[in-house]
Amino acid sequence: MFYNYLVKGLGIGMIFGAPFGAIGALGIERTVAHGRKAGMATGVGAGLGDVIYAIICVLGSSLVSDLLIRFNIPLSILGGVIVIALGYTTYKNKSMKVKDTKPNQNWIYFGSSFALVMMNPSMILLYVFAQSFVGAPKVDSLLKAGLLLAGIFGAIVLWWLALCLIVGAFRKKITDRTYAIINTCLSVFLMLFGVFVILRPFLLR
């Protein structure tokens, strides 16, 4: 049945698109500092990157995946440097400004999270794991591929909606002191994660 591909896509997306790591930390920080729209812009950008990796895997584009894996080290170094830079700029923001972002800033948040995901070729391996865990059926038509990808993107959006709604609900109750603690923890996590991203290709050799 065709709906099975949509359901399986939702299952894959719940694993593949979970907002953990640097992207999740960025989404939390931006939601707290600038509102739910900033958090969702971050999530949609990351989700689009996830879906592009899913398309590569579903349609079996070995050329693209081989290129991404071949340039894994420079992409990881560049991505790690960007994550460290984002962590540092986050750390410098000591006080909380409870006001929503301007639309053009949301485009920046969208673009930066999309770029970070695209600089992480290991997403291909995560997709393969998620697909094997869920047990996705064979894709032999564009309709089935479309339903599977729609389910994946739908699950990613649901993850980010939940994250932004939960964090946003407590946003205006957070004092400057509490925000400074949260901000420091998230920025340190981002910088350490950036170092890990840079070192990971060498550690896995």
Tens of pLDDT, residues 1-56: 667 888 888 988 888 888 877 788 888 888 888 888 999 999 999 999 999 988 88
Q: How confident is the model at residue 130 (pLDDT cuts 50, 70, 90)?
A: confident
Tens of pLDDT, residues 164-200: 998 888 887 777 777 777 778 878 887 888 888 788 7
Rounded Cα distance between 170 and 168, Å, is: 5
Of 4, 40, 35, 62, whose CA–CA distance to 158 is shortest?
40
Name the residue with tokens 């800033």.
Answer: 105
Whole-structure pTM value: 0.75
Rounded Cα distance between 45 and 181, Å, is: 27
CA 154 to chain centre: 14
Q: Which helix (H) or strand (E) holds 101?
A: none
Is 155 buried (19+), middle (13-18) or exposed (0-12) by CB count in 10 A?
A: buried
| Contact in structure between 160 and 47 (CB atoms under 8 Å) | yes
Tallying the residues shown for the chain, one arrives at: 205
